[in-house]
Amino acid sequence: MSHRPKRVARIIGVVAALAVVGVFISAGRRRGTPEPSAPASASTVGLLPMPACAADVTALLDGLRVGDTVAGWKVQAITAPQDGTVYVYVRQQDSIFAAGVTRKGNSKAPPPIVTDSYEIMFGMPQGSPPPQAMSLVADEIATRIRRTEKTVPMPAGL
């Protein structure tokens, strides 16, 4: 019976995560943001469909695509901008988390990583990703952005 509180907490966490994603998606649609044209095989995190990113986001991320590896973590999804942020979801075994990329000055809290034009944050963990691993993934994404940000226009929606 000692597993029941953990199970309830896990269910509450999943419901909360789904609610947050729903808010991001509906907020973007309410503002009149055009729905991205996603291929039939749009990237997913688990069973939750995510809006796929456009070519301008791929260019900013120096060609990063679903299936690539970042600091030992497999890229599960790269979203189109949602509320001014692109999310790169990565997975390793049973752990998933996201690194968020937004335009400089857009974050409500001080971001852990800042480039000339962008801020990179990380969070939304599922499972138990080590904080150091999340930081390494965000650092590698920042390195990719630093290589491209002077030559690639800011993606639409950021």
Tens-digit pLDDT profile for residues 84-110: 999 999 999 999 999 999 999 988 888
**CB count, 10 Å around CB of 126?**
18
Cβ burial of 15 (10 Å; 0-12, 13-18, 19+) is exposed
Here the tokens at position 96 are: 């998933």
- Per-residue pLDDT at 107: 86
Exposed/middle/buried for 9, CB within 10 Å: 0-12, 13-18, 19+? exposed
Say yes or no to pLDDT of 4 above 70: no
pLDDT of residue 3: 53
- The CA-based dihedral angle spanning residues 151, 78, 55, 29, taken in that order and rounded to the nearest 10 degrees: -110
Whole-number Å distance between alpha carbons of 36 and 49: 13
Q: Is the pLDDT of residue 20 over 80?
A: no
Mean pLDDT of 112-132: 95
Predicted pLDDT of residue 19: 40
Q: Where are the domains of the chain?
A: 4-148
Dist CA 62 CA 150 (whole Å): 12
Asked if pLDDT for residue 13 goes beyond 60, the answer is no
Rounded CA separation 31/16 (Å): 23
- For the cut 70, the answer to whether the pLDDT of residue 140 exceeds it is yes
pLDDT digits (tens, 9 = 90+) for 29-61: 334 433 333 332 334 445 356 667 889 999 999
pLDDT at residue 38, rounded to an integer: 36
pLDDT, residue 126, reads 92
Give the pLDDT score at 49: 62
Mean pLDDT, the chain, integer: 78
